[in-house]
Amino acid sequence: MGAGIIGVGRYVPEKVLTNFDLEKMMDTSDEWIRTRTGIEERRIAPDDIDTSHMAYFAAERALQDAGMEAKDIDLILVATVTPDRPFPSVACMLQERLGAVNAAALDISAACAGFMYGMVTAAQFIDTGAYKYILVVGADKLSKITDWTDRNTAVLFGDGAGAVVMGPVSPGRGILSFELGADGTGGKHLYKDEYIVMNGREVFKFAVRQMGESSVRVLEKAGLTKDDVDFLIPHQANIRIVEAARQRLELPEEKISTTIRRYGNTSAASIPISLVEELEAGKIHDDDLIIMVGFGGGLTWGAIALRWGR
């Protein structure tokens, strides 16, 4: 039995910040944002909701979906670059809130690729038999590290969380192959000083190349081809990057997730949020081949080929 997903959950804040709202805050326009990013609106968490709270809301739903209790979890992995504080980790705060008394807990810092890193890490523990059930969460409150006077970055980001419970699944299902990677020489192009700093041109070039190449490589590792892909869930950073990944796999538009329009770039949360949205929309079915692929600051990247189902 391989390692796969047995429960999912997501959380997005109630407050919607539209492009028209941003027009009143800075020198930008709805047309400028939509044509360059594909984003129409994003969610913003209030001051009393931090990353750990969003992680908790998503995790509770994932546990309910899996039909499990918190005490059944052996390990909690939280991918985030916006922890409530340097320590304790968001994972430890989540462990306490959930009452996951039997779980070890740690955070993973790989920016927008963090959820891919988390899932792959969890799979190793499950495959070796060290742990049986692992909670993997991607959660970020990017609004607190965004410079709301910089139209080049402020229009991109939103807040949210997504979570999965991973464990043993039926033979032939679960993670079939993966790729993780990093290029520290590109760290200068995307980092946090007081706020997020990004060289958009360089990050765009990296993302377009890496998302497509990684997706193709995980297919090759699994002994599969583009024709086998049923659905693509890419990191939601920019609609042009998402579209480039779709074209690389030669997929029709109905086989790719584009939640960026409603949520913007939610960093480590974007892939699990998209997964839940597409499941709820009935676009993913048992035994479908799913490609999940992301990139982020570091620079980092990760991709997974997964056969859906428990």
1 band by pLDDT with thresholds 50, 70 and 90 = confident
Residue spans per domain, the chain: 1-166, 172-306
Place of tokens 């979890």: 73
Question: Cα separation of 25 and 95, whole Å?
Answer: 38
Q: pTM of whole model > 0.75?
A: yes
Single out the catalytic residue among 19, 112, 189, 238. Answer: 112
pLDDT digits (tens, 9 = 90+) for 228-275: 999 999 999 999 999 999 999 999 999 999 999 999 999 999 999 999
Q: Look up 199 and say whether it is catalytic.
A: no
Total residues belonging to the chain? 310
Domains 1-166 and 172-306 share a fold: yes
Q: How many helices (H) and strands (E) does the chain have?
A: 10, 13
Q: Which CATH architecture fits 1-166?
A: 3-Layer(aba) Sandwich (3.40)
In order of 21, 89, 93, 298, the CA distances from 51 in angstroms are: 23, 11, 10, 21
Task: Residue 24: count other Cβ atoms within 10 Å of its Cβ.
Answer: 7
pLDDT digits (tens, 9 = 90+) for 144-156: 999 999 988 999 9
Q: Out of 3.40.47.10, 3.40.50.150, 2.40.128.20, 3.40.50.2000, select the CATH number for domain 172-306.
A: 3.40.47.10
Q: Look up 235 and say whether it is catalytic.
A: yes
The single-letter DSSP state of residue 126 is H
Task: Residue 300: count other Cβ atoms within 10 Å of its Cβ.
Answer: 25
pLDDT digits (tens, 9 = 90+) for 121-174: 999 999 999 999 999 999 999 999 999 999 889 999 999 999 999 999 999 999
Single out the catalytic residue among 53, 92, 189, 235. Answer: 235
Question: Cα separation of 49 and 285, whole Å?
Answer: 33
b or e along 199-227 (b: 16 or more beta carbons within 10 Å of the residue's beta carbon)? eeeebbebbbebbbbbbbbbbeebebeee
